Protein backbone atom coordinates (compact mmCIF):
# COMPACT_ATOMS: atom_id res chain seq x y z
CA UNK A 1 0.00 0.00 0.00
CA UNK A 2 0.95 3.61 -0.29
CA UNK A 3 0.64 5.33 3.09
CA UNK A 4 0.27 9.11 2.97
CA UNK A 5 1.16 10.69 6.33
CA UNK A 6 0.10 14.23 7.19
CA UNK A 7 2.54 15.49 9.82
CA UNK A 8 6.26 15.22 10.43
CA UNK A 9 6.48 14.78 14.19
CA UNK A 10 7.40 11.81 16.34
CA UNK A 11 4.18 9.90 15.71
CA UNK A 12 4.55 10.35 11.96
CA UNK A 13 8.05 8.92 12.31
CA UNK A 14 6.85 5.96 14.37
CA UNK A 15 3.99 5.03 12.05
CA UNK A 16 6.19 5.61 9.02
CA UNK A 17 8.79 3.24 10.45
CA UNK A 18 6.20 0.46 10.92
CA UNK A 19 4.77 1.08 7.43
CA UNK A 20 8.19 0.75 5.80
CA UNK A 21 8.98 -2.33 7.89
CA UNK A 22 5.80 -3.85 6.46
CA UNK A 23 6.92 -3.23 2.89
CA UNK A 24 4.64 -0.27 2.18
CA UNK A 25 5.66 3.03 0.61
CA UNK A 26 5.39 6.23 2.64
CA UNK A 27 4.69 9.76 1.45
CA UNK A 28 5.03 12.64 3.91
CA UNK A 29 3.64 16.14 3.98
CA UNK A 30 3.92 18.85 6.62
CA UNK A 31 3.65 22.58 7.00
CA UNK A 32 7.40 22.78 6.47
CA UNK A 33 8.51 20.91 3.32
CA UNK A 34 12.04 20.72 4.71
CA UNK A 35 10.71 18.84 7.72
CA UNK A 36 9.04 16.28 5.45
CA UNK A 37 12.26 15.77 3.53
CA UNK A 38 14.24 15.42 6.75
CA UNK A 39 11.84 12.82 8.14
CA UNK A 40 11.88 10.89 4.85
CA UNK A 41 15.65 10.70 5.12
CA UNK A 42 15.48 9.53 8.72
CA UNK A 43 12.97 6.82 7.81
CA UNK A 44 15.27 5.65 5.04
CA UNK A 45 18.05 5.23 7.59
CA UNK A 46 15.80 3.34 9.99
CA UNK A 47 14.55 0.96 7.30
CA UNK A 48 17.24 0.70 4.60
CA UNK A 49 15.72 0.27 1.16
CA UNK A 50 12.36 1.59 2.32
CA UNK A 51 10.39 3.82 -0.06
CA UNK A 52 9.89 7.09 1.84
CA UNK A 53 9.68 10.54 0.30
CA UNK A 54 8.26 14.00 0.87
CA UNK A 55 5.15 14.78 -1.15
CA UNK A 56 2.74 17.51 -2.21
CA UNK A 57 -0.90 17.61 -1.13
CA UNK A 58 -2.14 16.44 -4.54
CA UNK A 59 -0.26 13.15 -4.07
CA UNK A 60 -2.98 12.10 -1.63
CA UNK A 61 -4.93 10.87 -4.65
CA UNK A 62 -2.50 7.95 -5.00
CA UNK A 63 -2.76 6.90 -1.36
CA UNK A 64 -4.40 3.74 -0.08
CA UNK A 65 -4.31 4.93 3.54
CA UNK A 66 -4.07 8.52 4.79
CA UNK A 67 -2.76 8.94 8.34
CA UNK A 68 -3.51 12.20 10.15
CA UNK A 69 -0.45 12.37 12.43
CA UNK A 70 -1.42 15.77 13.78
CA UNK A 71 -3.35 17.03 16.82
CA UNK A 72 -7.14 16.80 16.91
CA UNK A 73 -8.02 20.34 15.87
CA UNK A 74 -5.45 20.28 13.07
CA UNK A 75 -6.85 16.95 11.86
CA UNK A 76 -10.30 18.51 11.49
CA UNK A 77 -8.78 21.33 9.48
CA UNK A 78 -6.93 18.88 7.23
CA UNK A 79 -9.99 16.82 6.30
CA UNK A 80 -11.99 19.98 5.66
CA UNK A 81 -9.27 21.52 3.48
CA UNK A 82 -8.57 18.32 1.50
CA UNK A 83 -12.28 17.93 0.81
CA UNK A 84 -13.07 15.72 -2.17
CA UNK A 85 -9.46 14.57 -2.47
CA UNK A 86 -10.16 12.25 0.47
CA UNK A 87 -13.39 10.80 -0.94
CA UNK A 88 -13.16 7.02 -1.01
CA UNK A 89 -10.01 7.00 1.12
CA UNK A 90 -9.28 5.25 4.39
CA UNK A 91 -8.31 8.07 6.76
CA UNK A 92 -6.69 7.19 10.09
CA UNK A 93 -7.17 9.49 13.07
CA UNK A 94 -4.49 8.95 15.72
CA UNK A 95 -5.32 11.98 17.86
CA UNK A 96 -6.20 12.18 21.54
CA UNK A 97 -8.37 15.17 22.54
CA UNK A 98 -6.76 15.48 25.96
CA UNK A 99 -6.66 18.52 28.21
CA UNK A 100 -2.86 18.65 28.35
CA UNK A 101 -2.85 21.20 31.18
CA UNK A 102 -4.29 18.63 33.59
CA UNK A 103 -4.29 15.23 31.84
CA UNK A 104 -7.59 14.80 33.66
CA UNK A 105 -10.26 15.06 30.95
CA UNK A 106 -11.03 14.92 27.26
CA UNK A 107 -11.87 18.09 25.36
CA UNK A 108 -14.72 16.64 23.27
CA UNK A 109 -18.32 16.53 24.50
CA UNK A 110 -19.48 13.52 26.48
CA UNK A 111 -20.70 10.79 24.15
CA UNK A 112 -18.52 12.01 21.30
CA UNK A 113 -14.92 11.51 20.19
CA UNK A 114 -12.24 13.20 18.15
CA UNK A 115 -12.63 10.56 15.44
CA UNK A 116 -16.37 11.16 15.13
CA UNK A 117 -15.88 14.92 14.94
CA UNK A 118 -13.21 14.47 12.27
CA UNK A 119 -15.56 12.20 10.32
CA UNK A 120 -18.26 14.87 10.54
CA UNK A 121 -15.83 17.46 9.12
CA UNK A 122 -14.97 15.25 6.14
CA UNK A 123 -16.89 15.00 2.86
CA UNK A 124 -19.20 12.00 2.36
CA UNK A 125 -17.39 8.82 1.35
CA UNK A 126 -14.38 9.24 3.62
CA UNK A 127 -13.87 6.18 5.82
CA UNK A 128 -12.43 7.46 9.10
CA UNK A 129 -10.73 4.85 11.26
CA UNK A 130 -9.42 5.38 14.78
CA UNK A 131 -6.06 3.66 15.29
CA UNK A 132 -2.58 4.14 16.75
CA UNK A 133 -3.90 6.59 19.37
CA UNK A 134 -2.98 4.21 22.22
CA UNK A 135 0.64 3.75 21.08
CA UNK A 136 3.47 6.13 21.92
CA UNK A 137 5.95 7.23 19.26
CA UNK A 138 9.01 5.60 20.81
CA UNK A 139 7.30 2.24 21.14
CA UNK A 140 6.19 2.41 17.51
CA UNK A 141 9.76 2.89 16.35
CA UNK A 142 10.70 -0.26 18.28
CA UNK A 143 7.46 -2.05 17.40
CA UNK A 144 7.32 -3.59 20.86
CA UNK A 145 7.54 -3.11 24.60
CA UNK A 146 9.75 -5.55 26.53
CA UNK A 147 9.81 -7.88 23.55
CA UNK A 148 6.01 -7.97 23.20
CA UNK A 149 4.43 -6.61 19.99
CA UNK A 150 2.22 -3.57 20.43
CA UNK A 151 -1.55 -3.85 20.25
CA UNK A 152 -3.15 -1.41 17.80
CA UNK A 153 -6.82 -0.89 18.60
CA UNK A 154 -8.91 -0.14 15.51
CA UNK A 155 -12.41 1.38 15.36
CA UNK A 156 -14.34 2.32 12.23
CA UNK A 157 -17.70 1.95 10.56
CA UNK A 158 -16.40 0.39 7.33
CA UNK A 159 -15.14 -3.20 7.67
CA UNK A 160 -12.90 -2.96 4.61
CA UNK A 161 -11.27 0.21 5.95
CA UNK A 162 -10.66 -1.46 9.32
CA UNK A 163 -9.12 -4.45 7.53
CA UNK A 164 -6.83 -2.16 5.55
CA UNK A 165 -5.56 -0.53 8.73
CA UNK A 166 -5.21 -3.96 10.37
CA UNK A 167 -3.02 -5.05 7.44
CA UNK A 168 -0.88 -1.93 7.87
CA UNK A 169 -0.39 -2.78 11.55
CA UNK A 170 0.19 -6.52 11.20
CA UNK A 171 2.60 -6.22 8.27
CA UNK A 172 4.72 -3.91 10.43
CA UNK A 173 4.96 -6.48 13.23
CA UNK A 174 2.12 -5.11 15.38
CA UNK A 175 -1.01 -6.85 16.68
CA UNK A 176 -4.25 -5.33 15.33
CA UNK A 177 -7.31 -5.45 17.59
CA UNK A 178 -10.58 -4.67 15.78
CA UNK A 179 -13.03 -3.21 18.31
CA UNK A 180 -15.85 -2.44 15.87
CA UNK A 181 -17.66 0.77 14.95
CA UNK A 182 -16.32 4.29 15.09
CA UNK A 183 -18.41 5.09 18.16
CA UNK A 184 -15.92 2.97 20.12
CA UNK A 185 -13.29 5.63 19.44
CA UNK A 186 -14.56 7.40 22.55
CA UNK A 187 -13.50 4.41 24.68
CA UNK A 188 -10.11 4.25 22.96
CA UNK A 189 -9.55 7.94 23.64
CA UNK A 190 -10.53 7.39 27.28
CA UNK A 191 -8.09 4.47 27.46
CA UNK A 192 -5.29 6.67 26.30
CA UNK A 193 -6.23 9.58 28.56
CA UNK A 194 -5.52 7.30 31.53
CA UNK A 195 -2.42 5.84 29.87
CA UNK A 196 -0.99 9.30 29.21
CA UNK A 197 -1.84 10.53 32.70
CA UNK A 198 0.15 7.64 34.19
CA UNK A 199 3.27 8.88 32.39
CA UNK A 200 3.16 12.19 34.25
CA UNK A 201 3.48 10.56 37.66
CA UNK A 202 6.87 10.09 39.37
CA UNK A 203 6.51 6.33 38.86
CA UNK A 204 5.59 6.77 35.18
CA UNK A 205 7.15 4.80 32.35
CA UNK A 206 8.77 7.56 30.31
CA UNK A 207 6.22 7.34 27.48
CA UNK A 208 7.52 3.86 26.62
CA UNK A 209 4.66 1.69 27.94
CA UNK A 210 1.84 0.06 26.01
CA UNK A 211 -1.76 -1.09 26.49
CA UNK A 212 -2.02 -4.83 25.89
CA UNK A 213 -4.86 -7.36 25.88
CA UNK A 214 -3.65 -10.66 27.33
CA UNK A 215 -5.58 -13.84 26.62
CA UNK A 216 -4.83 -17.57 27.04
pLDDT digits (tens, 9 = 90+) for 194-204: 999 999 999 89
Q: Could you give the residue ranges of the DSSP H alpha helices within 83-158?
A: 114-121, 137-142
In the Cβ-directed half-sphere of 2, how many Cα atoms lie within 13 Å?
A: 13
The confidence band for 210, taking pLDDT boundaries of 50, 70 and 90, is: very high
What's the pLDDT at 112? 96
Report yes or no: 174 and 149 within 8 Å, Cβ to Cβ: yes
Instruction: State pLDDT tens for residues 127-186.
Output: 999 999 999 999 999 999 999 999 999 999 999 999 999 999 999 999 999 999 999 999
Q: Which SS3 state, helix, strand or coil, does residue 182 take? A: helix
Nearest to 142, CA basis, from 94, 176, 174, 165: 174
- pLDDT tier for residue 39 given thresholds of 50, 70 and 90: very high
H/E run at residue 35: helix 33-46
Average pLDDT over residues 15-24: 98
Amino acid sequence: MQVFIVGTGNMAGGIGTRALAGGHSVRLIGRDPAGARELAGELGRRVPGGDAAAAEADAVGEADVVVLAVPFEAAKEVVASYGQRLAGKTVVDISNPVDFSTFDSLTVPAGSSAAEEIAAAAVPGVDVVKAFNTTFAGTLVAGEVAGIPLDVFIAGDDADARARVAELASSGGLNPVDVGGLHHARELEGFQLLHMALQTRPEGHGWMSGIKIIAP
